[in-house]
Chains A and B, each alone.
Chain A
Amino acid sequence: MTKVEAIIQVAKLEVVKGALHEIGVEGMTVFEARGHGQQKGHTEFYRGREYTVDLIPKVKLEIVLADDMVEKVVQAIVKAAQTGKIGDGKIFLSRIDDAIRIRNEERGGGAI
Chain B
Amino acid sequence: MNTLPIASAELRDLYAKESARIQQEFSVRGEGSVALAQRTAVVESILVRLWSEIISANPTGPEGFALVATGGFGRGWLFPHSDIDLLFLHAGGGTEDAFKDSIRRFSQEVWDLRLKLSPATRTLAECERFDPNNVEFAISLLDCRYLAGDRDLFSRLHEKAVPRLVARECQNLIQNLGEITRSRQHKFGNTVFHLEPNVKDGPGGLRDYNVTYWLALISAMEKLSSWPDPRALLPVSSRRALDAALDFQMSTRCFLHFLHGRHDNTLTWEAQDEAAVRKIGVADIEIATAADWMRVYFGHARAVHRVSAQLLEEIPAAWSSVYRQFQSWRSRVSTADFSVVDGLIFVQKPDSLQDPEMLLRLFHFMAQQGLKLSTTTEYKIEQVLPALASTPPRGAELWLYLQETLSQPHAADALRAMNALRLLPLLLPELKGIEALVVRDFYHRYTVDEHSFLAIENLHRLRDSKTEWDRRFAELLGELEQPELLYLALLLHDSGKAAPGDNHVEASLQFTESCADRLDLDPADRDSLRFLVGGHLEMSAAMRRDVFDPANVKTFADKVGLPERLKMLCLLTYADIKAVNPEAMTAWKADNLWQLYIAAANYLNRSADERVHTDNNDSTLAHLRSLAPVAGKKINNFLEGLPQRYLRMHGVSDVLAHAEMAAQLSKDSVQLSLKQVRHWYELTLITTDRPFLFASVSGALAAWGMNIVKANAFSNGEGVVVDTFFFTDRFRTLELNIPEWERLKQSIAAVIAGKVDVARMLQDRLRSEKTTSTKVKIATQVEFDDACSPHSTLLQILTQDRPGLLYKMCSQISKQGCNIEIALIETEGQMAIDVLYLTANGAKLDTDRQDDLGRALRETLESKPS
> Using a CB–CB distance below 8 Å, which chain A residues touch chain B?
9-11, 13-14, 32-34, 42, 44-48, 51, 53, 56-57
Residues of A within 8 A of B443 (CB): none
Given contacts A11-B544, A11-B546, A47-B833, contact A53 B601 (CB under 8 A): no
Contact status A57-B547, CB under 8 Å: yes
Residues of B within 8 A of A47 (CB): 798, 828, 831, 833
Our pick among A11, A45, A46, A53 for the contact of B591 (Cβ within 8 Å) is A53
Our pick among A11, A42, A48, A53 for the contact of B798 (Cβ within 8 Å) is A48
Contact status A14-B544, CB under 8 Å: yes
Contact status A32-B595, CB under 8 Å: no
Contact status A44-B602, CB under 8 Å: yes
Ordered nearest first, which 3 A-B pairs have the shortest CB separation? A32-B588, A46-B598, A11-B545
Residues of B within 8 A of A56 (CB): 548
Residues of B within 8 A of A45 (CB): 602
Given contacts A34-B588, A48-B781, A51-B598, contact A10 B798 (CB under 8 A): no
B599, CB-defined interface residue at 8 Å: yes
25 chain-A/chain-B pairs, Cβ below 8 angstroms:
A10-B543, A10-B545, A10-B546, A10-B592, A11-B544, A11-B546, A11-B549, A13-B544, A32-B586, A32-B588, A33-B588, A34-B588, A42-B595, A44-B602, A46-B602, A47-B831, A47-B833, A48-B781, A51-B598, A53-B548, A53-B591, A56-B548, A57-B547, A57-B591, A57-B592
Contact status B546-A9, CB under 8 Å: yes
Please encode chain B, from 584 to 619, with 1 for each CB lying within 8 Å of some chain A CB and 0 for all others. 001011011011001101100000000000000000
Query: Nearest chain B CB to A22's CB is how many angstroms away?
Result: 20
**How many Cβ-Cβ contacts under 8 Å join chain A to chain B?**
47
Question: Contacts A10-B544, A48-B781, A48-B798 given; 5 further ones with Cβ under 8 A?
Answer: A11-B545, A13-B544, A42-B548, A46-B602, A57-B547
Query: Nearest chain A CB to B443's CB is how many angstroms away?
Result: 13
Residues of B within 8 A of A13 (CB): 544
Residues of A within 8 A of B599 (CB): 44
Report the Cα distance A33→B594, complex, angstroms.
Answer: 16
Contact status B595-A51, CB under 8 Å: yes
Residues of A within 8 A of B601 (CB): 46
Query: Nearest chain B CB to A76's CB is how many angstroms away?
Result: 20
Contact status B588-A57, CB under 8 Å: yes
Report the Cα distance A51→B781, complex, angstroms.
Answer: 16
Report the Cα distance A12→B592, complex, angstroms.
Answer: 16
Query: Nearest chain A CB to B774's CB is how many angstroms away?
Result: 16
Residues of A within 8 A of B828 (CB): 47
Residues of B within 8 A of A11 (CB): 544-546, 549, 552
Residues of B within 8 A of A10 (CB): 543-547, 592
* Residue from B547, B601, B781 having most chain A Cβ neighbours under 10 A: B547
> Using a CB–CB distance below 8 Å, which chain B residues touch chain A?
543-549, 552, 586, 588-589, 591-592, 594-595, 598-599, 601-602, 779, 781, 798, 828, 831, 833
Residues of A within 8 A of B781 (CB): 48
Report the Cα distance A57→B547, complex, angstroms.
Answer: 9
Chain B residue nearest in CB terms to A83: B546
Report the Cα distance A53→B548, complex, angstroms.
Answer: 10
Contact status A32-B589, CB under 8 Å: yes
Residues of A within 8 A of B552 (CB): 11
Query: Nearest chain B CB to A7's CB is how many angstroms away?
Result: 14
Residues of B within 8 A of A42 (CB): 548, 595
Contact status A44-B546, CB under 8 Å: no
* Residue from A9, A47, A57 having most chain B Cβ neighbours under 10 A: A47
Residues of B within 8 A of A33 (CB): 588
Report the Cα distance A36→B591, complex, angstroms.
Answer: 16
Our pick among B545, B598, B833 for the contact of A44 (Cβ within 8 Å) is B598
Chain B residue nearest in CB terms to A53: B595
Contact status A44-B544, CB under 8 Å: no
Report the Cα distance A34→B547, complex, angstroms.
Answer: 13
Report the Cα distance A11→B833, complex, angstroms.
Answer: 33
Report the Cα distance A11→B798, complex, angstroms.
Answer: 34
Report the Cα distance A43→B547, complex, angstroms.
Answer: 12
Report the Cα distance A32→B786, complex, angstroms.
Answer: 37
Residues of A within 8 A of B798 (CB): 47-48
Our pick among A9, A14, A44, A48 for the contact of B595 (Cβ within 8 Å) is A44
Residues of A within 8 A of B595 (CB): 42, 44, 51, 53
Chain B residue nearest in CB terms to A34: B588
Query: Nearest chain B CB to A61's CB is how many angstroms away?
Result: 15
Query: Nearest chain A CB to B52's CB is how many angstroms away?
Result: 42
Report the Cα distance A13→B592, complex, angstroms.
Answer: 15
Residues of A within 8 A of B589 (CB): 32
Query: Nearest chain A CB to B600's CB is how many angstroms away?
Result: 10
Residues of A within 8 A of B591 (CB): 53, 57
Chain A residue nearest in CB terms to B594: A51
Report the Cα distance A11→B546, complex, angstroms.
Answer: 5
Report the Cα distance A14→B599, complex, angstroms.
Answer: 23
Residues of A within 8 A of B548 (CB): 42, 53, 56
Report the Cα distance A42→B546, complex, angstroms.
Answer: 12
Query: Nearest chain B CB to A84's CB is how many angstroms away?
Result: 15
Report the Cα distance A108→B97, complex, angstroms.
Answer: 52
Report the Cα distance A45→B599, complex, angstroms.
Answer: 9
Residues of B within 8 A of A14 (CB): 544
Report the Cα distance A34→B781, complex, angstroms.
Answer: 32
Residues of A within 8 A of B586 (CB): 32
Report the Cα distance A46→B833, complex, angstroms.
Answer: 10
Residues of B within 8 A of A51 (CB): 594-595, 598
Chain B residue nearest in CB terms to A56: B548
Residues of A within 8 A of B546 (CB): 9-11
Chain A residue nearest in CB terms to B599: A44
Report the Cα distance A90→B753, complex, angstroms.
Answer: 67
Residues of A within 8 A of B592 (CB): 10, 57
Query: Nearest chain A CB to B590's CB is how many angstroms away?
Result: 11
Report the Cα distance A57→B596, complex, angstroms.
Answer: 12
Report the Cα distance A40→B166, complex, angstroms.
Answer: 67
Query: Nearest chain B CB to A74's CB is how many angstroms away?
Result: 23
Query: Nearest chain B CB to A8's CB is how many angstroms away?
Result: 11
Report the Cα distance A44→B548, complex, angstroms.
Answer: 10
Query: Nearest chain A CB to B578's CB is how many angstroms away?
Result: 15
Report the Cα distance A82→B721, complex, angstroms.
Answer: 49
Residues of B within 8 A of A53 (CB): 548, 591, 595
Query: Nearest chain B CB to A14's CB is how many angstroms away?
Result: 7
Chain B residue nearest in CB terms to A32: B588
Chain A residue nearest in CB terms to B543: A10
Report the Cα distance A48→B59, complex, angstroms.
Answer: 85
Residues of B within 8 A of A46 (CB): 598, 601-602
* Residue from A44, A51, A56 having most chain B Cβ neighbours under 10 A: A44
Residues of B within 8 A of A48 (CB): 779, 781, 798
Residues of A within 8 A of B594 (CB): 51
Query: Nearest chain A CB to B473's CB is how many angstroms away?
Result: 13
Residues of B within 8 A of A44 (CB): 595, 598-599, 602
Query: Nearest chain B CB to A32's CB is how many angstroms away?
Result: 4
Report the Cα distance A10→B828, complex, angstroms.
Answer: 33
Report the Cα distance A57→B831, complex, angstroms.
Answer: 31
Query: Nearest chain B CB to A2's CB is how many angstroms away?
Result: 27
Report the Cα distance A33→B543, complex, angstroms.
Answer: 14
Report the Cα distance A33→B589, complex, angstroms.
Answer: 10
Query: Nearest chain B CB to A11's CB is how many angstroms away?
Result: 4
Query: Nearest chain B CB to A87's CB is how many angstroms away?
Result: 9
Chain A residue nearest in CB terms to B779: A48
Chain A residue nearest in CB terms to B546: A11
Report the Cα distance A32→B589, complex, angstroms.
Answer: 8
Report the Cα distance A71→B587, complex, angstroms.
Answer: 34
Query: Nearest chain B CB to A31's CB is how many angstroms away?
Result: 9
Report the Cα distance A57→B552, complex, angstroms.
Answer: 15
Residues of A within 8 A of B833 (CB): 47
Report the Cα distance A37→B833, complex, angstroms.
Answer: 36
Report the Cα distance A101→B592, complex, angstroms.
Answer: 35
Query: Nearest chain A CB to B24's CB is how many angstroms away?
Result: 28
Chain A residue nearest in CB terms to B798: A48
Chain B residue nearest in CB terms to A46: B598
Chain A residue nearest in CB terms to B601: A46
Report the Cα distance A48→B831, complex, angstroms.
Answer: 10
